[in-house]
Amino acid sequence: MMNTPIDYKKELEAASKVMTGIQDHVLLGTLLVRMIVRKVGLTHAGMMFFDPILNGYVLSVSRGEIGERIPEQFLRFDQDHPLIRVFLQKEYQYLIRDRRGLVADDINKLIWRESVIEGEDGSRDLLHKVSEHFPMINSVACVPAFYQQQLLAVLVLGRKKNGDRISQGELDFLAALASNLAMAIRHSLLSEGMQKEVDRSRNLFIQTAIALGSAIEAKDAYTHGHTERVTKYAVAIARRMAVMELLDVPAKFFENLYISSLLHDIGKIGIPESILLKQGKLTSEEYDVMKTHPTRGADILASIKDFEGCILGVKHHHEHYDGSGYPDGVKGESISTIASIISVADAYDAMTSDRPYRKGFSKERALKEIGEYSGVWFNPRVSLAVESLYEQGEI
- Enter the DSSP assignment of 156: E
- The whole-number pLDDT of residue 1 equals 38
Give pTM, 2 decimals: 0.52
Average pLDDT along the chain, 395 residues, taken 10 residues at a time:
54 57 74 85 91 88 88 88 84 68 79 56 77 86 85 90 86 82 73 59 66 66 76 92 81 86 86 82 91 91 79 95 95 94 94 79 93 94 93 85
Give the ranges where the chain is alpha helix by DSSP (H): 8-20, 25-40, 82-88, 107-111, 114-118, 123-136, 168-219, 226-243, 253-262, 273-276, 284-290, 293-302, 311-315, 337-352, 363-372, 380-391
Alpha-carbon torsion angle 255, 257, 263, 267, nearest 10: 130
- The whole-number pLDDT of residue 374 equals 94
Read off the amino acid at residue 126.
L
- The whole-number pLDDT of residue 336 equals 94
- The whole-number pLDDT of residue 2 equals 43
- The whole-number pLDDT of residue 169 equals 83
- Enter the DSSP assignment of 44: E
**Ordered structural domains, the chain, with CATH:** 8-192 (3.30.450.40), 220-391 (1.10.3210.10)
- The whole-number pLDDT of residue 286 equals 92
The C-alpha atoms of residue 314 and residue 339 are separated, in whole angstroms, by 7
The alpha carbon of residue 116 and the mean position of all alpha carbons in its chain are separated, in whole angstroms, by 49
